[in-house]
């Protein structure tokens, strides 16, 4: 009985979940050709989807809140710019090196995963800030000091647009794979109760390290691609804390721990954010802060989490 | 053969928390295929002893042998891998994942396919009358159902010895009967149990050997009928 009542919405949801994203990606792919005026908007939308989805691997699945998440993005951007401008490495390889260094950085930070809860968030935040100071103080010949590095010679909005698109698709695909895999179950167990997970034979240290590396890889790559797109980087914007904040809010709003949540969160909130930013630049931060408070109070599971909590039959479809 | 070999040996273990001695030079041996009871007043060190055995705590002194192999200080996930399962006084169910995922947690590194593992999980769910709950979230289960889930969850990895911490607390008599049945069944398959419980009737009914702890020390050991008559035990339980 229960089944019959719930089968229609869940079947509809299944169709949506399968075809919706593919259709959207296709539309987005046409933007640089058909509607270049909104191409920057779509680029950043894809950027935020990538950031929020990757962030979901560490915060949504394992419950670790890296408040210095921007560090990976910043390192990706800087390594890409330095490799290309100082060493003459082709841009795709430069971006990949950014990813490699981001992963190396995550290994360097890995011991901090022993710390849990708010302490991890604070330590991670401090690491990111230390890194920013370090980068700002590296020899100017390398990093360009506070002025940063210009990449205008390889400015290519279309190529970088499609690279970002590929990266976004890869990120969402990876999250989907991880979430449905045994690693995904292990990570969720660790999030719920690390002690119980251990007692059941889950290798907590190894599983969360895998999540941490994946969560570091994508923002590092995204940093490189964005550097290519804007063709300029500087320490202030590459290590801007607002990037962490927005990533968190987007992921939370859509629903942590679900694959579609951060995507939905980024799509809906980025539009709002863009609007507020354009109309009330001064109030933007205030509104963002308020939004975080409201989210934690009223929508702790995000949109997707709340919907699947009410409609158990959708759990199998929307993940 | 069964019942003659020692599966677990605890030798002179102590555990201190600051100035407090939670477990004091505790020793005992558990025979394979038996139910071994640990009783004692609140705070007497029962849970702490289990925590030392399964690696959540490293004992400050002493050694623990599982089938002759020294295991004290091994991390809990390795203790689980060698065949020691554990349930908790307050059930540790993963709340925001499904019952099925809860059951898969102990077998994530198993070479068997997901299909096989799920079939096994359903068998276990069926055996405790919870078959139709596999898609529920852990938090949607009642307290008693959580206890049952925790029990069948450790059965998923087929441990040799099961450490049960207060399995009967807050459990309805019907469920308790189900627990008894399960324990008997598993014993017949050769499993060994360490049962920590305040439910003396159950302990006397199920265990072959019982130790009594008081303030971290073993004050008595014996078969149920011996423990029932023991003066120190009566004293410890009824107060001085
Ligand atoms: N993690 C801990 N930190 C500090 N003290 C602890 C810790 N765990 C247990 N203790 C102390 O050790 C002593 C033994 O506790 P334990 O939990 O082993 O008792 P128990 O016999 O299981 O009691 P109960 O029947 O109430 O479950 C208690 O005095 C308790 O306060
Ligand atoms: Mg206890």
Between chain A and chain B, the number of residue pairs with CB atoms below 8 A apart is: 78
Average pLDDT, stretch B127-149? Answer: 90
Specify which of A98-107, B151-160, B200-209 reaches the highest per-range mean pLDDT.
A98-107
- Does A101 reside within a domain? yes
Distance, in Å, from the CA atom of A116 to the CA atom of A66, rounded to the nearest integer, reads 10
Which of A188, A192, A202 is opposite residue B77, by nearest beta carbon? A202
* pLDDT at residue number B3: 45
**CA angle at B141 for the pair B135 and B147, rounded to the nearest 5°:** 115
Average pLDDT, stretch B12-24? Answer: 94
* pLDDT at residue number A59: 94
pLDDT of B57 above 70: yes
- Does A16 reside within a domain? no
* pLDDT at residue number A298: 84
Token output for A189: 């167990």
| Ranges in chain A, pLDDT < 50 | 1-6
Token output for A229: 């797109």
Contacts of B77 in chain A (CB under 8 A): 198-204
Q: Which domain holds residue A154?
A: 37-241
Task: Calculate how close chain B gets to A187, using CA atoms only, in Å.
Answer: 10
Among B71, B88, B94, the residue to mutate for chain A (most A Cβ within 10 A): B94
Q: How confident is the model at residue B59 (pLDDT cuts 50, 70, 90)?
A: very high
Helices H / strands E in chain B, number of each: 9, 10
pLDDT of B204 above 60: yes
CA distances from A102 to A59, A78, A209, A250 (A): 17, 10, 14, 22
ipTM of this predicted complex?
0.88
**Please, which residues 242-261 of chain A have a Cβ atom closer than 8 Å to chain B?**
257
Collapsing DSSP states into helix, strand and coil, what is residue B75? Answer: coil
Distance, in Å, from the CA atom of A204 to the CA atom of B111, rounded to the nearest integer, reads 19
* pLDDT at residue number B170: 81
pLDDT of B118 above 90: yes
* pLDDT at residue number A316: 63
Interchain contact, B77 vs A188, CB within 8 Å: no
- Does A175 reside within a domain? yes
Collapsing DSSP states into helix, strand and coil, what is residue B65? Answer: strand
Specify which of B3-7, B16-20, B226-230 reaches the highest per-range mean pLDDT.
B16-20
Q: B228-233, long-range: CB within 8 Å, 24+ apart, which pairs? A: B228/B204
| Mean per-residue pLDDT of chain B | 91
> Where in chain B are the domains?
6-94+159-238
* pLDDT at residue number A117: 84
Distance, in Å, from the CA atom of A233 to the CA atom of A243, rounded to the nearest integer, reads 14
* pLDDT at residue number B211: 95
Distance, in Å, from the CA atom of A121 to the CA atom of A104, rounded to the nearest integer, reads 19
* pLDDT at residue number A318: 65
The residue among B119, B111, B85, B37 whose CA lies nearest residue B191 is: B85
**Please, which residues 40-99 of chain B have a Cβ atom closer than 8 Å to chain A?**
54-56, 75-77, 79-81, 86, 88, 92-98
Best probe residue, ligand 1, of B45, B91, B214, B217 (max atoms within 8 Å of C-beta): B45
Tokens 């904040």 appear where?
A245
Interchain contact, B95 vs A257, CB within 8 Å: no
Split into its structural domains, chain A has a count of: 1
Distance, in Å, from the CA atom of B193 to the CA atom of B159, rounded to the nearest integer, reads 10
| Chain B residue with Cα closest to A189 | B94
Collapsing DSSP states into helix, strand and coil, what is residue A32? Answer: helix
Residue owning the nearest CA to atom 5 of ligand 1: B17
Among positive and negative, which fits the CA dihedral B157, B159, B162, B168? Answer: positive
Distance, in Å, from the CA atom of B155 to the CA atom of B85, rounded to the nearest integer, reads 8
pLDDT of B240 above 70: no
Does A202 reach chain B within 8 Å, measured CB to CB? yes
Structural fold of domain B6-94+159-238? Rossmann fold (3.40.50)
Alpha-carbon A285 to chain mean position: 19
Distance, in Å, from the CA atom of A215 to the CA atom of A217, rounded to the nearest integer, reads 6
* pLDDT at residue number B163: 96
């Amino acid at each position: 009985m229960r089944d019959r009542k719930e089968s229609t919405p869940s079947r509809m949801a299944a169709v949506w979940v399968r075809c919706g994203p593919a259709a959207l990606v296709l539309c987005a792919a046409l933007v640089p050709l058909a509607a270049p005026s909104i191409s920057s908007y779509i680029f950043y939308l894809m950027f935020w989807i990538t950031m929020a989805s990757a962030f979901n691997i560490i915060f949504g699945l394992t419950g670790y809140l890296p408040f210095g998440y921007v560090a990976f993005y910043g390192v990706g951007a800087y390594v890409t710019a330095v490799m290309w401008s100082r060493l003459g490495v082709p841009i795709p390889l430069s971006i990949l090196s950014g990813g490699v260094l981001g992963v190396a950085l995550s290994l360097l930070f890995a011991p901090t995963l022993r710390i849990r809860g708010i302490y991890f968030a604070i330590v991670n935040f401090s690491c990111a800030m230390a890194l920013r100071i370090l980068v700002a103080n590296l020899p100017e010949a390398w990093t360009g000091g506070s002025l940063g590095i210009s990449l205008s010679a390889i400015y290519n909005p279309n190529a970088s647009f499609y690279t970002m698109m590929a990266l976004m698709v890869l990120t969402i695909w990876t999250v989907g794979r991880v979430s449905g895999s045994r690693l995904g179950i292990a990570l969720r167990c660790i999030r719920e109760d690390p002690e119980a997970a251990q007692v059941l034979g889950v290798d907590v240290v190894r599983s969360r390290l895998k999540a941490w590396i994946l969560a570091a890889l994508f923002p590092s790559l995204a940093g490189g691609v964005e550097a290519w797109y804007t063709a300029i980087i500087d320490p202030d914007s590459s290590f801007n804390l607002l990037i962490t904040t927005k990533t968190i809010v987007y992921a939370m709003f859509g629903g942590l721990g679900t694959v579609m949540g951060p995507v939905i969160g980024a799509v809906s909130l980025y539009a709002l954010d863009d609007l507020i930013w354009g109309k009330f630049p001064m109030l933007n931060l205030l509104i963002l802060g308020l939004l975080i408070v409201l989210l934690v109070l009223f929508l702790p599971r995000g949109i997707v989490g709340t919907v699947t909590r009410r409609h158990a039959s959708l759990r199998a479809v929307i993940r | 053969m069964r019942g003659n070999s020692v599966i677990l040996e605890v030798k002179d273990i102590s555990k201190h928390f600051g100035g407090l001695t939670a477990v004091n030079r505790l020793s005992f041996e558990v025979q394979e295929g038996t139910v071994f009871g640990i009783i004692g007043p609140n705070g007497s060190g029962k849970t702490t002893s289990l925590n030392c055995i399964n690696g959540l705590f490293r004992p400050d002194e002493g050694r623990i042998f599982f089938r002759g192999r020294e295991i004290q200080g091994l991390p809990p996930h390795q203790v689980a891998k060698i065949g020691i399962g554990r349930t908790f006084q307050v059930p540790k169910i993963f709340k925001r994942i499904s019952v099925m995922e809860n059951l898969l947690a102990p077998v994530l590194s198993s070479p068997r396919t997901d299909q096989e593992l799920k079939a096994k999980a359903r068998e276990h769910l069926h055996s405790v009358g919870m078959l139709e709950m596999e898609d529920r979230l852990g938090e949607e289960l009642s307290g008693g159902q959580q206890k049952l889930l925790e029990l069948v969850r450790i059965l998923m990895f087929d441990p040799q010895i099961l450490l049960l911490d207060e399995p009967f607390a807050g459990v309805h008599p019907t469920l308790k009967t189900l627990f008894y049945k399960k324990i008997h069944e598993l014993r017949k398959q050769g499993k060994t149990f360490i049962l920590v419980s305040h439910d003396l009737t159950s302990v006397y009914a199920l265990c072959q050997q019982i130790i009594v702890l008081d303030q971290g020390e073993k004050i008595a050991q014996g078969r149920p009928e011996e423990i029932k008559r023991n003066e120190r035990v009566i004293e410890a339980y009824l107060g001085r």
